Structure 1
Amino acid sequence: MTRGTTPSFPSRPTLADVARVAGVDMSTASRVLRGDSAQRVRKETRDRILKVAEELDYRANPLARGLRTARTDTLGIVVPQLDNPVFASAIRGAELAAAELGYSLLISHREPGAAASSIAKLSQTNRVDGLLVASLDDDEVLRSDLASARVPYVLMNRILPGAPLSVVLDSRAAARRGVEHLAALGHRRIAHLAGRAQGFNALERLEGYREGLAAAGIPYEERLVATAGYTAEGGATAMRALLPQKPTAVLAATLVSAAGAMGVLHEAGLRIPEDVSVVGLHDAPVAAMLYPSLTTVMMPTEEMGRVAATMLIRLLAGEHPEPVPPLPPGALIGRASTGPASR
C-alpha cells in the first residue's frame, strides 16, 4: 500500500449476497434466516439458503435488526468498580450466560455517587434490551436511577425494597464461616472490617460476624468493628483505627479491604499470622499472591452473574422468573494468613 492511500478491507457478506447466490429474493432469505415459519418456503429452497449462508459465513446485523424490531440482543451490566474481583467475576458469569442464550453484554462502569446515570443512558438510547445492575449507592439514589430505566432490570449483590428481582450472595453465612474458623484457632479478640455503612451486604456480614461470635461464646464489642468499605485504602484506614484495640484476628468484608489491612499490619511491624490472623470474604487468584497468602471464604460471584443474566433473559422472553434465595458461600480456603492465637 502506498502512502496516502486508503486501506481496503474485505466486506462482510450481506443478506443481499445470500439472496443473490441462493437465487431467491431478499424477503425469502430473511424469513428463512430468522426462522420465520409464518409463510411456507419449500424445503429445498430453505436448505439452499441455509447452505449459502453457511458457506458465505453470513451473520445477521444486530443493529439493523434492532432498528426494525426495537431489540438489540444485548444486555447492559452496570458495575461500581472494575478493579474489584467480585464484580469482575460477576461480569464473567453474566457474559457466559448471555452468550449461551444469544445475547451480547455491554459493560458500563459507574462510580458510586457519580452524577450521570449509566442506567438512564443505556436504557433510553435503545442500546440494550435489559440491565443487570450492581451499585454501591444509597437506596434512594439507586431507586431514583432505576426509575429512569425504560427496560427490565435485575439487581445483583443487593436487595432494594420495591425492586422485584435480585440475585445476592449469602454474605451472612460467609462471615459466620470466617469467624468460626478464627474462633476454632483460639482467637477471642476478632475484629471486623465492615463494608459500606448501612449497605445491604455490610449489614448481612455484620450479622454473620455477630452470629459467629455468639456461637463461640465471644462477647460482641462495637469497638472491634470499623467501616472499611470496599477498597484497599478503606481497609488500611479501618485497620489503623483498630490497632489500639489489639485484635488477634481480623475478618475483612472483602478480599480488597483485607489486602489494605495486611499492608498496615506489615507497616506496624506485626506478623501475620503470628500476631494477627486475617480472613477475607471472596476468593480470587490474587489472594494466593499476597504475603502471606490470604485465607478466604469462597463466594459464588460468577454464579451470581450467570443466574442474574439468565433471569433477565427469561424476563425479556415474557416469562415470570421466580426470586431465587441467596447463593450460599463455598469452602473456606485456608492459607498462610491464619494461625493459632498466641495471646
Structure 2
Amino acid sequence: MTTSTTRTTRGKGRDKAAPARPTQKDIALAAGVSQAAVSLVLNKAETPSVPPATRTRILEVAEGLGYRPNHLARMLRSARTMTFACVIPDITNPFYPGLVRGLQTVAAPAGYDVLIFDTDGRPEREARAIDWLLQGRADGVVATFFHLRVPQLAVLARKGIPLVRLESQHKPDGPLAIDSVYIDNAEAAAAMTRLLIARGHRRIAMIQAEFGPSQRRAQGYSAVMREAGLAPDFVTDSAYSEESGARAMTRLLQRKGERPTAVFGASDVLALGAMEAARNAGLSIPGDIAIAGFDDIPVAKLLGLTTVRQPEFDLGALAAETLVRRLQPGGFGSPGKSHELKFEIMKRSSV
C-alpha cells in the first residue's frame, strides 16, 4: 500500500496542490514495516533486528518515493553537523582530488558531507582553519598541515573533533584522537634514487620545496646518495608548483660545469615544471637528462613521468573510515594511531 500527501499553496488568486515531501512514515507504510525499522536503516544503523532483505526493501522504497533526509533535523537530534572537513594546502594540485574522492566515497554512505578548506600552505591560513573548525563547522577533519604540530592541533581533540593527518612518516601513538595515514616518504624517495643509480646516473639533483614532505623525501634521497659515494645536490624553490619546478630547473641548467644527468622532483608538479624548462633549453628527456617525480598525479602517466605512486584515493578512504570509527560511541577512548599504506615505483619513459 502506498500513501501520498499534498499541501495547498496560493498563487495569483487560486489554490495549487503540491506534493509534500515524503516522510519516514510514508516509507514504512509503503514497505510494510515499522517506522522504527525505517529510522534505523535510513540513519545508517547496523543492527541484526533489521534483516538484510528488509533493509534492501526499505532503501528501494525510499528511493522510489524520492525521500531525502532532513539534514537540519538530524543535526539538531545528534548535535552534529554531519560534515567532515578536508584541509588541504593547494586545491589546484592534482594530487588532492583523488584524496577528496576517497574521503567522499566513505563519508557519503555514513551520512556525512565533505567541505574543503584550502590553506595555500601558509601558516596563518592553517591557524585560520583551526579557528574555523572550532566554530563547530565539522564533526571530524582530514588534513595536511605543513606548519602546525600536535601542540597546536590538540585543541581539536579536546573539543571532541577527531583529526586524521596525511603525514610523510609514522607518528607515535598518542593519548588524543589524532590519527595519521601515510606512506613512508623517506623509503619511497630512497627507492627512486636507487632506480636512478641503477640506470647509470651519478650526478643526480633533487628539486624540492621549502616546507611540507620535501624534508622526508630529501632524507631518503640523501641517504642513498651517500651510501653510493655520491654527493647530494639540492635546488630549493618556494612551493609545490610547476612554476617553482621550472625556476629550479633553470637555475640548475645555468650552473657552470657539468650538469646533472638526472633530476628528482620532490613532487610531480615540480618534476613537470622541470620537464618544461629542460625542453625549453633544447634538452631531450631522457636522452640528455632523466626526470623523476613523486605522487603519480593523473597527468604523470600521460607524459611518461617516472614517479612514486601514492595511493591518494585509499589514503582518503582510510582517513574517512578512521573518522567514522572515532565518532561512534566510545570511539574517543583509544589512543591515536598511525596507519601505513604502500607506495609503488612507476617506471616510465622519462628515466
TM-score, length basis structure 1: 0.78
Q: Which residue is equivalent to 1:76?
A: 85
Q: Check if 1:186 corresponds to 2:200.
A: yes
* DSSP-derived class of the 1:173 partner: helix
Q: Which stretch of the first structure deviates more once superposed, 206-215 or 314-323?
A: 314-323
Q: Report the equivalent of 2:22.
A: 13
Corresponding position of 1:176:
190
Structure with higher strand content: 2
SS at match of 1:117: helix
Aligned to 1:153: 163
Closer, same or farther: CA 35–16 of 1 in aligned 2, 3 Å? closer
Structure 2 matches for 1:30-69, cutoff 5 A?
31-35=36-40, 53=62, 56-69=65-78
Shift of 1:193: 0.9
Residue 120, structure 1, aligned to residue 128, structure 2: no
**Contact 1:93–1:306 at 8 Å: present in 2 too?**
yes
Query: CA deviation digits over 1:222-246, x for unaligned, max 9?
Result: xx20124311111112212222161
Q: Distance in 2 between matches of 1:194 and 1:9?
A: 60
- Distance verdict in 2 for CA 1:92–1:55, change over 3 Å: closer
Q: Provide, for residues 162-209 of structure 1, a one-character-per-residue CA deviation record: whole Å limited to 9, x for no partner.
A: 773211221112111111111111100000012334x4x222101110
User: Are 2:321 and 1:316 aligned?
Assistant: no
Task: After TM superposition, list the pairs within 5 Å mapping 1:204-215 onto structure 2.
Answer: 204-215=216-227
C-alpha distance 19-167 of structure 1, shift in aligned 2 (>3 A):
closer
Q: Is the 8 A contact 2:168 2:216 kept in 1?
A: no
Contact 1:123 1:129 in 2 (8 A): no
Helix, strand or coil: the match of 1:81?
Answer: coil
CA distance in 2, matches of 1:143, 1:81: 23
Q: What is the identity, as a one-letter code, of the residue corresponding to 1:227?
A: T
- Segments of 4+ moved more than 4 angstroms: 8-11, 15-24, 49-55, 158-163
Give the equivalent residue in structure 2 for 1:287.
300
Q: CA deviation at 1:68?
A: 2.1
Structure 2 distance, partners of 1:263, 1:83, is 18
* Number of the residue aligned with 1:134: 144
Q: Deviations over 1:85-130 (max 9, x none)?
A: 22222111111122343433222222222547233324423x4211
Question: Which amino acid is the alignment partner of residue 56 of structure 1?
Answer: L
Residue 144 (structure 1) shift: 3.9
Give the distance between the partners of 1:286 and 1:119, measured in 2 at CA: 32
Secondary structure at the counterpart of residue 139 of structure 1: coil
Distance 2:20 2:268 in 1: 47
1:310 partner SS: helix
Aligned counterpart, 2:118: 109
**1:220-277 Cα shifts (integer Å, max 9, x gaps):** 23xx201243111111122122221611101111110101111111122222111110
3-state SS of 1:237 partner: helix
CA distance 1:182–1:53, change in 2 (3 Å): closer
**Bigger shift: residues 61-70 or 95-104:** 95-104
**1:13 & 1:306 partners in 2: Cα distance?**
32
CA contact (8 A) 1:173 1:328 kept: no
The answer (yes or no) to whether the contact 1:76–1:105 under 8 Å persists in 2 is yes
Matched, 1:236 2:241: no
Distance (whole Å) between structure 2 residues aligned to residue 278 and residue 22 of structure 1? 61
What is the one-letter code of the residue matched to 1:184? A
Q: Give unpaired runs (5+ residues) of structure 2.
A: 1-10
Task: Give the whole-Å Cα distance in 2 for the aligned partners of 1:60 and 1:333.
Answer: 44
Equivalent residues of 2:300, 2:306 under 8 A apart: yes
Task: Give the Cα–Cα distance (whole angstroms) in 2 for the partners of residues 257 and 9 of structure 1.
Answer: 56
Is structure 2 residue 231 aligned with structure 1 residue 220? yes
- The answer to whether residue 101 in structure 2 is matched with residue 92 in structure 1 is yes
> What is the CA RMSD across the aligned residues, in angstroms?
3.5
How far off its partner does 1:145 sit? 6.2
Whether the 8 Å CA contact 2:180–2:337 is kept in 1: the answer is: yes
Question: Is the Cα contact below 8 Å between 1:175 and 1:205 reproduced in 2?
Answer: yes
Is 1:337 matched with 2:347?
no
1:272 corresponds to 2:280: no
CA distance in 1, matches of 2:276, 2:61: 61
* Shift in alpha-carbon separation, 1:66–1:212, aligned structure 2, 3 A: same
Aligned residue-pair number: 312
Q: Is the 8 A contact 2:156 2:162 kept in 1?
A: no
Matched, 1:296 2:307: yes
